[in-house]
Amino acid sequence: MSLAVTSLRELAQIQHYYGFRYVLNPSVHEQIFDKLKLSKTYPKLDKLKVLDLYPGPAQHSAIFNNRYRPAQHVLMDMRPDFVKHISGLLEQDKTDKPAMQLYRHDPYDWKSYTDLTDADKILVPPRKGPEAIHDEFLIMANLTGMIGEGLFMQWLACIGNRNWLQRFGRVKMLVWLQECTAVKLLAKPGDHLRSKCSLVTEAFTDTKLVATMSNKKTGTSNFSEDLMAEHQPVMFSPQDVWLPSGKPLSLLEINPRDHRIDLDNFDYVTKHLLILKSTPLYESLDSLGHGGKEYFRQVIKDQNLLEKCPKNLTLSDFLYCTELFDKWPFKPDIYLDFIDVFQDND
Amino acid sequence: MLRCSRSCYRFHGVKRLIGQLRPLSQTAFLKKPSMNYYGLESGPSNDDIGFLKSSVVSMAPGFGTFDNAQAAAQAGESRNIMNLWSLLEACLHSGYMDRAFSILRSLYNLKSYRASFIDDYNKYLTKFAENATDLKTVDKKLFEDLQKTFPAVDYNDKTLAILIHNAIKLSDSKETRSKHCETYLRMAVSGYRGILSNVEVLTIQDYRTLLHDLGLIEVHDLPAELGPIVVASGVSPEGTEEPKRTAGGTHGITGMAKDSPEFAFDNEIKTVAKDAKELLAVDTIGMKVVRHTLLGLSLTEEQRKQVKDFNFETASNLLNFEEGQSNIDFFEIHRTLKTDEERESFAKALDEFNQDRQHQLEHRATDAAKERWRHDFEEAKARGDLSIQKKLNVKLWDWFNQMLPLVKEEVKRCAEVANHSVQDGSLSAKEKKQNKAREDYGPYLTLVDPEKMCVITILELLKLNSTGGVIEGMRTARAVISVGKAIEMEFRAELLLKNEAHVFKDIKKNSHVFKLLVQRARNTFRSMKIEESKILWPQEARAKIGSILISMLIHVARVRVEGTDPLTQEKIQGEAPAFSHGYQYHNGSKLGVLKIHRSLVHQLNGERLVAAVQPQLLPMLVKPRPWKSWNSGGYYYTQSTLIRSKESPEQVAYLKAVSDAGAIENVYRGLNVLGETAWTVNRKMFDMMSHVWNTGEPFLDIPGNQSKLVLTPQPPRDADPSVHRQWKLKNKELANEFSGGRSARCDANYKLEIARAFLGEKFYFPHNLDFRGRAYPLSPHFNHLGNDMSRGLMIFWNGKQLGSNGLKWLKVHLSNLFGFDKAPLEERIAFTESHLEDIKDSAEDPLNGKGWWKQADKPWQALATCMELNAALKLDNPCEFISHIPVHQDGTCNGLQHYAALGGDVEGAKQVNLMPSDRPQDVYSHVAKLVVARLEKAAAKGDETAEILKNKITRKVVKQTVMTNVYGVTYIGATHQIEKQLSTVFDDYKHSYELSKYLTKHVFASVRELFEGAHLIQDWLGECAKRISKSIRLDIDEKAFRNGNKPDFMSSVIWTTPLGLPIVQPYRENGKKQVATNLQTVFISDPFAVNPINARRQKAGFPPNFIHSLDASHMLLSALKCGENKLDFAAVHDSYWTHASDIDTMNVLLREQFIKLHEVDLIERLKNEFDERYKNYLQIIKIDKKADVATKIVDLRKELSQKLGRQFTLADEIYMEKKRVQLLESEDPVENGEGAEMVTTVSLLGEVEDIALLEKTSDASGIMVLAPLKLPQIPPKGDFDVKELENSKYFFS
DNA sequence: AAATTCTCTACCGACAATATCACTAAGTATTCA
DNA sequence: CTCATACTTAGTGATATAAGTAATAGAGAATTG
């Protein structure tokens, strides 16, 4: 028996969406799963555990579940309206072994995950090595809401750190994000949206644009031609999205990489250099600390590199700078790199 | 003497009459407040302490450069004009005449400022004439300019003064000189005096020429202050007599009458002192006299030796900044003098000495710093000790020397750009851009001596170390603006000095009395000069020059640093820039940061902060310049304004208007009393603190010397994100604590340093006001508003015998400082008397004794009082003790006192001691009691929450909320406060929060019950503010309608305090913009922009601000009266201080003033003022759709819409209504009739009897309509009569 | 015109985002009839 | 020589930045379709 796929009518009754948007067109989801070829990553579907974060209307969950029949499929959500909706949905599943289960915790809270895997042991993924993508665990999430971008950035950091759910191995994530976030994450050198998160994405993950919304008027997307050609994403129309108003969204497939990057220095260097992203390195390096200009001009022999602007640098350029930075005898204390704007006293 | 009317003279064809230039006097524009406004008050009366006169002035639109009624329309122009003015000034002083002229053209085109254009032109002409070599050039220039370039402008008396000065200077013969001068004098607009009053143009020599050589004027034509000086030269041109001394010379100058002095005029000094150097030279003769006087006093041998050894003639003895070096202890002399006569002559001599020192202090500060650096450098060099670990000052001297040529070069470049002597062609794009920028900041950069700019830059940056939450450095934005501001301040001071030098350039004061005379004239002159200057540099210009200078310093300043080799882990020595510009993020926003290298920071921590103390803003050695106008008062060479304006041109405009009308004299007087209170440092306390400080250990509120910030170790990479988060938080907390501790220590350091400098000195605090009229000392760091430590360091200079009541009050004071202040006076006295042993112990051995004083609420002040009391009690008759300690009398919840008086709440009044009682009432306990009563009642009904809470309620739980209630604390805010208290009892946050929410409701209700009337008034004030800030002026600018039919509201709440001070709430949306500077862009607000109102803040701020404006008035009135009664008086808002012996008198006076203040129905008066000020303003209301008027309005809108062929907008509606009102107010009966005929949406509404009946609350659907602004009715007042206060001894206690 | 979402939360003294790019308006040079 | 057009430049506005929404929650204003 397959799970019912929620109709649009039902969903219209849900009041609060907190800025989240969901694709509610089964065929789009089918196309997406066609494209993803998940059975390649997860050859033993009967062992696959899926964590579905902010599932909302859970249409995609149902479709996914019907299609792959994973060993375990946990939906984590805490928003009252959706909890109600999902509970209703799950009640229809009268089998002894329910296909999906709801875990009523806030996906924003780190504690929810330790509870899930350690305390409550609801979903316990096996630990896998760094050699390959985890083949028994998949994370799906919708982070199209207001807090989504911030949360995703933290998850990215978790991939770098190998903590959170990523401590179980290189766990694939399918994440719905606002299109503008996805654009930033996938920005290439030279793109004016090239930013720290683009570098982090590039450094820690192999990320693909799986699907994206077509522009209302032009029918094209806001991603560059190159990128569209490279990723060939599934396109869906604004009408496939609920709520009807809001910002466009995209689906990313994130495959964590095995890396050995000096995280703190990398973080410091990228953060600071990308502030003056259009200033040539020979100038912008000075903002790394006292005497930065002198030091780097001395140690960077490649004049071409010095002429480049941070936004044009490749990941390896940044890694090179990070390395040099680490070797700098007079480098500043990177752990004091913050400011208390209002040091209130009362 | 025959005087032609000016019309009979043709000056090179300039023929327009002055009358045409000023067709109407300013007052002609003033709209007379309507009769009923006067009517209610039955016209200005002698009883008016300021309110009436002032409110009438400020009610009239059309004053000043900032017209309330046209605020929005003129905002752009107003900003423009300020920038142009400041640029014009800068260009003139830099000698960029062409550029200056083109600015004049721009100014000329701003029609609304045409009236003041001639002033700007005069400035230009002055400069032009200075450079001219013959008379004709100037005449021709003036003719051409006024005839052709600026035809709509006519000259004024100042123009003529310039011409006269020029004629005297350039004429080759007496005839030409005479002819020209006579001609010019005849052209006078308002008589000879009009011309001759321009003392900043004419020199003493000029006056003398006119008076004696040419005989064109009479003595009575001269400005009063100058008369004697000018005449003197005529009487005894050769005279160089020393002033006569009274026999024995011991009484110094006392024997001389100032009005008939014998003058000395030095004819030998003919050369013009171009720069201000001469004026700065120490006045040798004056100092000799001072010294002589001092030695004539009955001094101890030691004191005599001090005076003898003291070098009065060098500027280096300004203040005692160096440890170990000792100045004369003037206080000790003052204290030990025996007779009044001696004291008086001492006071005079000291004052005279201090006049000079003050002058030096305000001027020589930067030089002094530089000299110190150089001195240390030379010394180190002599020792051959220029090694690696340089002393700080040696380093600074080094930077200074490296920076100087760069600055000079930059100044040169700027001059080149300004003179167009740069060929653009050969320059790179970058250089071109830089030159473009130079055009902007160049004029400002060339104004101040490069040496000074370097010193200022270095000092400012050192001063800003660890500010703005940066751990080792500062915010860039703050740095660039601070440096810019400091440069501007320097420029202003120099300018003033230069002008002064110009006027008095011919005078050499080799006579003592003559010098005094000149000093007096000079002070007057200075006031005039300061009043005249209205120009301030735009924030943008400040930021730009600040950034230029800072970037140069960054470039040159280097320090030795130590690093670690990444491979070998060995220590490596190196060199790095001392400053580094970078960025840090805060919540995703970038903040520009100027980092200071750690090695320098360490060095700075070890230094005493002598160098960085802002010398311009120290306490003053002489009485502050009395307040005379909105921008004249306080320091002598440093300009300060009466009100600390929050970049609100509106505030300034209102202030100017009433200031010019002379309507706030009482405010000035009150402030002057505060400024005239003489202080000195409590030496014993200083020694104590200094000792404690030097140990480096934490002690009371002085934090210890922490050397290094130690962070916690990083958790393993794969630890849970929440662990990482905690780690980050912990580190931030550590850093925060560290930098907090450091800045606290730094602050204490400043205080001690300033105190050290003023040991034994007599000093004063100049005050100004915040926008609500509360007074604050101008000097930061060390003042009586500071913390316990600051206060403990200060005593009155004058001593007064305690007397028996004084002794009692001193005891009460000590009790109060211990926090034992809620009991009757007798009990407080008893408290002190029961601790006499402790007091003795504390006073005599504060550190090693029992340290009883440390238990006090305010330990430092308590210790000071212990010492005082102990010293008094040692006398046979303690009542004869001469006491210097200020004794405080604090209002018990002063805000509520005013509210209770306004609302007439009997019980409330009683609880805040407005009514006589034998015990002081404690309003907090009373409220707690009321709350408990409520809880018990609820608990009796079975309310479980009440049951839990009912025996947890203490005074402390409700105190903060009762207190902040006056400030309009919200329900949420109060809940937090109460939760903080309850959290000590209940562990679970959720639970305690729930309880707090519940309790807050009851606390609010109880306060409301107790102060029923007061709360109605609070609500009423809030409602008024809300409606006003959501009201629409008829002549609103169309731009305000940019977002559809919803206008930007522009009216702020404005009222007049009882003393006549107009108050404009400055809360508007912040209109900050990014401004590019050399280092980065900075985000600053344009001070001249007029932004939409922030209605929320207007509403929330008005009730407390109104009350504060009342307590401020009360304070100033009390100050005034205390001044009249010869009391030394100081105040911290609602805490009034005077000598112990004068407390009784002060208490009577302050109660009288409170009664006087509240005898008038202030609320009614406020409503009248509002009704008048906001007459014809509109508001948007929602009325019932079905009402008749509603239909009519809809129909009218439709009709007009059809006529127009487009949507009939709100703007149109307002425009129509404006037309109607204009017609109605017209003098022309025809127009009047038209107005009456006219039908607008507003007039339709006017036909309805009671609009309020139609108003719809949100539920039903209605339509939005414009209605005349109507403020709610005044709530009823309770029965309390303020007269009852007269005998309430615990009112302030 | 109604509903959702955004902001602010006690007053004053008091103290502050910034880099970059796209777009527009205005000014300037160039070129062509 | 003038006009028109391309090109420059100055000024304005929008957007991204980092990355726990600080512990908390309700009223009132602002936005939005």
**Burial call B236-269: b when 16+ CB within 10 Å, e when fewer:** eeebeeebebeeeebbbbeebeeeebbbbbbeee
Which positions 204-243 on chain A have a beta carbon less than 7 angstroms from any atom of strand C? Answer: none
Distance from CA of A94 to the nearest CA of B (A): 37
Under 8 Å between Cβ of A308 and A191 = no
Range of the domain at A277: 263-336
Task: For residue range B859-908, list pLDDT tens digits in order.
Answer: 999 999 999 999 999 999 999 999 999 999 999 889 999 999 999 999 99
Write the secondary structure of B710-722 as one string of H (helix), E (strand) and C (coil).
CCCCCCCCCCCHH
Distance from CA of B1001 to the nearest CA of A (A): 24
Least confident among A107-121, A285-299, B824-838, B1180-1194: B1180-1194
More confident residue, B3 or A214: A214
Average pLDDT, chain B: 80
Under 8 Å between Cβ of B552 and B578 = no
Q: How far is the CA of A272 from the C1' of C17 (A)?
A: 15
Task: Give the model's pLDDT for residue B1041.
Answer: 53
Q: Number of structural domains, chain A?
A: 2
Judgement on whether residues A76 and A30 belong to the same structural domain of the protein:
yes
Task: For residue range B416-436, list pLDDT tens digits in order.
Answer: 877 776 665 566 667 777 888
**Burial call B587-604: b when 16+ CB within 10 Å, e when fewer:** eeeebbbbbbbbbbbebb
Instruction: For chain B, say whether A44 makes contact (Cβ under 8 Å).
Output: no
Helical segments of B677-720, H only: 683-695
- The Cβ-side half-sphere exposure at B1150, using a 13 Å CA radius, reads 34
Instruction: For chain B, say whether A169 makes contact (Cβ under 8 Å).
Output: no
Task: Give the model's pLDDT for residue B707.
Answer: 72
- H or E, element range at B898: helix B894-903
pLDDT band at B810 (very low <50, low <70, confident <90, very high): very high
Helices B971-982 and B955-965, packing angle to 10 deg: 160
Burial class (CB in 10 A: 0-12, 13-18, 19+), B314: exposed
Task: Give the model's pLDDT for residue B254.
Answer: 36
Of these ranges, A306-320, B724-738, B1002-1016, B1090-1104, the one predicted with the greatest mean pLDDT is A306-320
pLDDT band at B63 (very low <50, low <70, confident <90, very high): very low
Residue B959 among the catalytic residues: yes
Judgement on whether residues A78 and A200 belong to the same structural domain of the protein:
yes
Q: Of B910, B959, B1026, B1218, which is the active-site residue?
A: B959
Distance, CA of B36 to CA of B1175 (rounded, Å): 12
Task: Give the model's pLDDT for residue B64.
Answer: 34
Average pLDDT over residues B1190-1204: 80
Judgement on whether residues A268 and A241 belong to the same structural domain of the protein:
no
CA angle A241, A244, A250 (to 5 degrees): 40
Q: How far is the CA of B425 from the C1' of C22 (A)?
A: 30
Longest dimension (CA), chain A: 71
Average pLDDT over residues A174-186: 93
Q: Hey, what are B540's tokens? A: 């943008």
Instruction: Count each helix (H run) and each strand (E run) in chain A, helices first.
Output: 15, 10
Q: How far is the CA of B1081 from the C1' of C24 (A)?
A: 22
Task: Give the model's pLDDT for residue B512.
Answer: 59
Q: Is residue A91 part of a domain?
A: yes
Judgement on whether residues A132 and A151 belong to the same structural domain of the protein:
yes
CA angle B437, B440, B441 (to 5 degrees): 90
Nucleic strand D within 7 A of Cβ A274: yes
Task: Look at residues B546, B612, B553, B605 and name the one whose alpha carbon lies nearest to residue B579.
Answer: B553
Task: For residue range B788-798, list pLDDT tens digits in order.
Answer: 999 999 999 99
Instruction: Classify B1054 as helix, strand or coil.
Output: strand
Q: Residue B574 pairs with which residues in a beta bridge?
A: B561
pLDDT band at B279 (very low <50, low <70, confident <90, very high): very low
Judgement on whether residues A159 and A198 belong to the same structural domain of the protein:
yes
Instruction: For chain B, say whether A111 makes contact (Cβ under 8 Å).
Output: yes
Task: Give the model's pLDDT for residue B1284.
Answer: 92
Average pLDDT over residues B110-125: 80
Instruction: Classify B144 as helix, strand or coil.
Output: helix
Amino acid at B185: L
pLDDT band at B234 (very low <50, low <70, confident <90, very high): very low
Which positions 389-448 on chain B have a beta carbon less than 7 angstroms from any atom of strand D? Answer: 436
Judgement on whether residues A38 and A134 belong to the same structural domain of the protein:
yes
Instruction: Classify B1073 as helix, strand or coil.
Output: strand
Write the secondary structure of B919-950 as one string of H (helix), E (strand) and C (coil).
CCCCHHHHHHHHHHHHHHHHHHCCCHHHHHHC
Average pLDDT over residues A221-243: 88
Q: Is residue A110 part of a domain?
A: yes
Task: Give the model's pLDDT for residue B1267.
Answer: 81
Judgement on whether residues A270 and A217 belong to the same structural domain of the protein:
no
Judgement on whether residues A94 and A122 belong to the same structural domain of the protein:
yes
Distance, CA of B523 to CA of B503 (rounded, Å): 12
How far from chain centre, in Å, is Cα B849?
A: 43
Task: Give the model's pLDDT for residue B1256.
Answer: 57
Q: Hey, what are B920's tokens? A: 């002081």
Task: Give the model's pLDDT for residue B431.
Answer: 77
Judgement on whether residues A158 and A297 belong to the same structural domain of the protein:
no
Nucleic strand C within 7 A of Cβ B1260: no
Task: For residue range B1183-1195, list pLDDT tens digits in order.
Answer: 777 777 778 888 8
Phi (first) and psi of residue B904, to 5 degrees:
70, 30
Task: Give the model's pLDDT for residue B524.
Answer: 60
Average pLDDT over residues A231-239: 91
- H or E, element range at A76: strand A72-76
Phi (first) and psi of residue A79, to 5 degrees:
-75, 125
Task: Look at residues B187, B192, B216, B145 and name the one whose alpha carbon lies nearest to residue B7.
Answer: B187
Using alpha carbons only, how large is chain B's radius of gyration in Å? 34
Task: Give the model's pLDDT for residue B1037.
Answer: 54
Q: Is residue A3 part of a domain?
A: no
Distance, CA of A113 to CA of B1144 (rounded, Å): 70
Task: Give the model's pLDDT for residue B28.
Answer: 26
Task: Give the model's pLDDT for residue B433.
Answer: 78
Q: Is the dihedral of CA B664, B670, B675, B676 positive or negative?
A: positive
Q: Residue A177 is part of a domain; what is its CATH number?
A: 3.40.50.150
Q: Is the pLDDT of residue A252 over 60?
A: yes
Residues 709-728 of B with CB under 8 A from A: 709, 711, 714, 717-722, 724-725
Q: Is the pLDDT of residue B323 over 70?
A: no
Judgement on whether residues A271 and A249 belong to the same structural domain of the protein:
no
Under 8 Å between Cβ of A330 and A298 = no
Among candidate residues A228, A256, A284, the one where a domain is terminated: A256
CA angle B661, B663, B665 (to 5 degrees): 120
Instruction: For chain B, say whether A107 makes contact (Cβ under 8 Å).
Output: no
Helical segments of chain A, H only: 8-11, 26-36, 38-41, 59-68, 80-91, 110-114, 148-161, 179-185, 196-204, 225-231, 263-273, 281-284, 292-299, 303-307, 315-326
pLDDT band at B1036 (very low <50, low <70, confident <90, very high): low
Average pLDDT over residues B170-193: 85
Task: Look at residues B87, B72, B89, B111 and name the one whose alpha carbon lies nearest to residue B1088.
Answer: B72
Task: Give the model's pLDDT for residue B609.
Answer: 62
More confident residue, B21 or B1067: B1067
Judgement on whether residues A250 and A289 belong to the same structural domain of the protein:
no
Own/partner long-range contacts of B492-498 (Cβ < 8 Å, ≥24 apart): B492/B533, B492/B637, B492/B638, B492/B639, B493/B362, B493/B363, B493/B616, B493/B637, B493/B638, B494/B276, B494/B448, B495/B93, B495/B533, B496/B526, B496/B529, B496/B530, B496/B637, B497/B276, B497/B279, B497/B280, B497/B363, B497/B637, B498/B275, B498/B276
| Percent residues over pLDDT 90 in chain B | 31
Task: Look at residues A176, A168, A162 and name the one whose alpha carbon lies nearest to residue A49.
Answer: A168
Q: Is residue A43 part of a domain?
A: yes
Give chain C positions with protein CB within 7 A: 1-2, 4-6, 8-22
Burial class (CB in 10 A: 0-12, 13-18, 19+), B168: buried
Task: Give the model's pLDDT for residue B312.
Answer: 67
Task: Give the model's pLDDT for residue B1242.
Answer: 78
Distance, CA of A309 to CA of A296 (rounded, Å): 14
Task: Give the model's pLDDT for residue B62.
Answer: 43
Instruction: Classify B334 as helix, strand or coil.
Output: helix
CB atoms near residue B1201 (< 10 Å): 14
Of these ranges, A52-61, B982-991, B1086-1095, the one predicted with the greatest mean pLDDT is A52-61
How far from chain centre, in Å, is Cα A264?
A: 20
Nearest nucleotide (C1') to the CA of residue B786?
A: C13
Task: Give the model's pLDDT for residue B948.
Answer: 83
Task: Look at residues B754, B524, B759, B738 and name the one whose alpha carbon lies nearest to residue B625.
Answer: B524
Instruction: For chain B, say whether A263 makes contact (Cβ under 8 Å).
Output: yes
Task: For residue range B1052-1101, list pLDDT tens digits in order.
Answer: 899 999 999 999 998 888 778 888 898 999 988 876 677 788 888 899 99
Task: Give the model's pLDDT for residue B801.
Answer: 94
Judgement on whether residues A115 and A252 belong to the same structural domain of the protein:
yes
Q: Is residue A277 part of a domain?
A: yes
Average pLDDT over residues B544-566: 92
Residue found under tokens 């209109």: B1071
Q: Is residue A320 part of a domain?
A: yes
Under 8 Å between Cβ of B351 and B787 = no
Q: Is the pLDDT of residue B1001 over 60?
A: yes
pLDDT band at B67 (very low <50, low <70, confident <90, very high): very low
Task: For residue range B1142-1160, list pLDDT tens digits in order.
Answer: 999 999 999 999 999 999 9
Task: Give the model's pLDDT for residue B770.
Answer: 93
Task: Give the model's pLDDT for residue A17.
Answer: 65
Q: Is the pLDDT of residue B586 over 50?
A: yes
Least confident among A60-74, B78-92, B594-608: B78-92
Amino acid at B221: D
Distance from CA of A162 to the nearest CA of B (A): 5
Q: Is the pLDDT of residue B255 over 60?
A: no
Task: Give the model's pLDDT for residue B242.
Answer: 37
Task: Give the model's pLDDT for residue B321.
Answer: 60
pLDDT band at B440 (very low <50, low <70, confident <90, very high): confident
Q: Is residue A240 part of a domain?
A: yes
Nucleic strand C within 7 A of Cβ A280: no
Q: Is residue A345 part of a domain?
A: no
Q: Residue A325 is part of a domain; what is its CATH number?
A: 1.10.8.100
Contacts of B433 (CB under 8 A, 6+ apart): none
Among candidate residues A256, A287, A320, the one where a domain is terminated: A256
Among candidate residues A224, A256, A288, the one where a domain is terminated: A256
Task: Give the model's pLDDT for residue B131.
Answer: 84
